[in-house]
Structure 1
Amino acid sequence: MDAFFFGGGFQILFFLTFALILGMVVFTFVRNIGQWSKNNRSPRLTVDAVAVAKREEVSVSHHPTGNAAMHTSSHTEYFITFQVESGDRMELPVSGSEYGMIVEGDRGRLTFQGTRFLSFDR
């Protein structure tokens, strides 16, 4: 065990772990910037559509606050699947207020840009 800690093994393992975490952060950042840029280059389209499905994704985090207590926080993302006249479906992230206002089966004019939801007018 001493050879691992004092022979450089721990330093190598620490560096590899740090490099892996940094690589994941950079990859996520580059991917998100790429999607944002692609959305900005996409045309704004307005099409007739039907809201066919809704879903929400809840992420829960637990954080120790000391004194053996836990702080819990959650974050909810909302998605609506729209079907256009051609039969194609697309799932778009929407705000909580839009999610609450749109009901499955609603028909209207969907405006979007790439994977970015802009509006849905009934």
Structure 2
Amino acid sequence: MSSGFNMGPFPGGNGGDLFLIIFTSVLVLIIGTFIILIIKSLMAWSSNNASPIQSLNCKVVAKRMHVSGGSGDSSASTSYYATFEFEDRSRLELEVGREQFGYIVEGDQGTLTYQGTRFKEFSRPLL
């Protein structure tokens, strides 16, 4: 005997439809976020490649680290940044590698080589 009502997987009626709508919405949101992140990364990569490589005299005015993750069982990742001040007093903060971060000291003066937002090298004058 059939009562003619579709109870769905949840008591009370069409709970299955609600679950499907919520699940689909969350899935579309996650996929959309990944697509946006990929597009932004490709645009930054393309912009950096189209930028000229510049070498300018500057002074290191600041250094900082940014640690993300690391709660519970997840591992942490650290990003390293240095801020450079040019002769015209303008400043540029660039992400640098861990090894370069260790060699750069606040107050150092030298030549920064960069392309767009991509750090290439910082060299001090030979004495």
Shared fold (TM-score, shorter chain, > 0.5) = yes
CA contact (8 A) 1:111 1:118 kept: yes
Identify the residue that residue 24 of structure 1 maps to in structure 2.
Answer: 33
| TM-score normalised over the length of structure 2 | 0.85
CA distance in 2, matches of 1:102, 1:4: 63
Runs of 4+ in 1 over 3 A off after TM superposition: 1-4
Q: Is the 8 A contact 1:54 1:104 kept in 2?
A: yes
Q: State which of 15, 26, 33 in structure 2 corresponds to 1:5.
A: 15
Q: Give the number of aligned pairs.
A: 114
The question of 1:34 aligning with 2:15 is answered no
- 1:117 alignment partner AA: F
The whole-number CA distance in structure 1 between the counterparts of 2:24 and 2:14 is: 14
Higher strand share: 1
User: Using the alignment, how far apart are the partners of 2:113 and 2:30 within structure 1?
Assistant: 37
Partners of 2:74 and 2:26 in 1: CA distance = 27
Matched, 1:45 2:63: no
Unpaired runs of at least 5, structure 2: 1-9
Q: SS in structure 2 opposite 1:110?
A: strand
| Percent of pairs with identical residues | 39
Residue 89 (structure 1) aligns with? 91
- The gaps in structure 1 that reach 5 residues or longer are 63-69
Counterpart position of 1:112: 114
Question: Partner of 2:68 in structure 1?
Answer: 59
C-alpha spacing 1:4/1:57, structure 2 compared with 1 (3 Å)? farther
**Which residue identity does 1:60 align to in structure 2?**
G
Structure 2 letter corresponding to 1:71: D
- Matched residue of 1:71: which SS? coil
